[in-house]
Structure 1
């Protein structure tokens, strides 16, 4: 059910944070994974992790997703060389933090460009192949901040809400083509994203106080959810948002 042999996965921001573990899960399951990232250190770590067994099925491209025209060209080149894309995971995101009233409209738009518009470009690039094969999986990485709101992160929250809406719209429109679209909302995971917090220990206590399970999540928890949505095991699940958050948000 979770065999990914013969599948090609496009994974933005897949080199670090929650991405490395998931990329390795997919490689272990037999998939070819195309990772687009721009963090050189994380890209090097992923390359090293895959070196022993999976190097021939991993393609890492350094790219700034804010360049949408360049992204279209990059994806066209990738598909011309490696074939079509079966699974798109829209994970890359930026998250500037400050009071809402200090953000300019242009700064809001810059966040949407990377977090949302790049996702649209990726899905549009993959759709012809998915529709031709009558099989495809789209997974948007959202955030539990959409449900509770989050101070100082308004553009980020805005972008993640948009990804949930897009997953539902794509699910409705492309379900007849054998394509599912879902969103995964991670809770608070101890990744680089937390480094913006001024009080890490206090934040960890805050997280555990709100979660139903009293331990921090691990990247494998997200990897397992993404593996499910990318596989045939989720063929009858679409338009949904799964919170992987230790029971912080329930709806």
Structure 2
């Protein structure tokens, strides 16, 4: 399932789940265009990546809410790298408050980063994938889309949009040799959990819902991404893979 020699665009690559997966891809020999808005996290990623594997890290600080600027940055990088073989749309923001406290501008801001920036990424990457007759697009969804979480309505709506785009793109891009899937992480112990006021209680809640009685770790996500990005997953498209310890079952 090696993804060596592939060029991967990974948004949110320096975050809690992004960093370990990026290092995994570098060990496999891939070139990773690692996009993040946080300069300090990108620097930490670069330090962690030093001397790891045969891959190449290309860090790129970008404001994904600036869609025009993001498109220009990506287009320049894609041209310099000879195209993008894999797109992983992972970057997201997740404000938490009751529905009635969100303004329409709040909803639009979440949609812009979580969905619209992913659309821009695919628009930049698709011509190379189509010309090559091979490509992988992976949208990072969330098990929150299946219900059971209050105070996250713009985030949940954005993840639903990504699932819808996954299916629409899979139908349209399959003729080009491009697969499109979604990966839906469960509750992983990252900075995102800091929105919960009772960490120990939240961990009990998570384990009560999972059939696998341990917390997930970043390697669980890295392994699933590596599979979906590989030739081994060439006959899988339009699907949502829940990596959640057996929380959601369909």
Q: TM-score, normalised by structure 1?
A: 0.97
Distance 2:146 2:246 in 1: 13
CA contact (8 A) 1:98 1:153 kept: yes
Please give the residue correspondences for 1:129-148 in structure 2 after superposition, counting only pairs within 5 Å: 129-148=128-147
CA contact (8 A) 2:88 2:138 kept: yes
1:96 corresponds to which residue? 95
Moved over 2 A (4+): 53-56
User: 1:26 aligned to 2:25?
Assistant: yes
2:4 corresponds to which residue? 5
Of residues 163-172 and 75-84 in structure 1, the stretch that sits farther from structure 2 once superposed is 75-84
1:239 corresponds to which residue? 238
2:211 corresponds to which residue? 212
Distance 1:218 1:22 in 2: 11
- Residues 126-179 of structure 1: per-residue CA shift (max 9 Å, x gap): 000000000000000000000024200000000000001101111000101000
Structure 1 residues 70 and 3 mapped into 2: Cα distance closer, same or farther (>3 Å)?
same
2:71 corresponds to which residue? 72
Of residues 131-140 and 46-55 in structure 1, the stretch that sits farther from structure 2 once superposed is 46-55
1:170 corresponds to which residue? 169
**Cα shift at 1:79:** 1.5
2:37 corresponds to which residue? 38
Structure 1 residues 56 and 221 mapped into 2: Cα distance closer, same or farther (>3 Å)?
closer
Distance 1:61 1:227 in 2: 21
Distance 1:79 1:148 in 2: 37
Give the alignment's Cα RMSD to 1 decimal. 1.1
- Residues 8-63 of structure 1: per-residue CA shift (max 9 Å, x gap): 00000011210111101111111100011012332122111111135871000111
Distance 2:158 2:16 in 1: 19
CA contact (8 A) 2:166 2:180 kept: yes
Distance 1:166 1:106 in 2: 22
Unpaired runs of 5+ residues, structure 1, are: none
Distance 1:68 1:202 in 2: 39
Distance 2:66 2:11 in 1: 14
CA contact (8 A) 1:33 1:57 kept: yes
Distance 1:131 1:44 in 2: 33
- Residues 105-126 of structure 1: per-residue CA shift (max 9 Å, x gap): 1110000000000000000000
Of residues 38-47 and 178-187 in structure 1, the stretch that sits farther from structure 2 once superposed is 38-47
Distance 2:155 2:119 in 1: 16
- Residues 192-250 of structure 1: per-residue CA shift (max 9 Å, x gap): 00001111110000000110011100000000000000000100000000000000110
Classify the secondary structure of the residue corresponding to 1:70.
Answer: helix
Classify the secondary structure of the residue corresponding to 1:243.
Answer: strand
Distance 1:14 1:142 in 2: 15
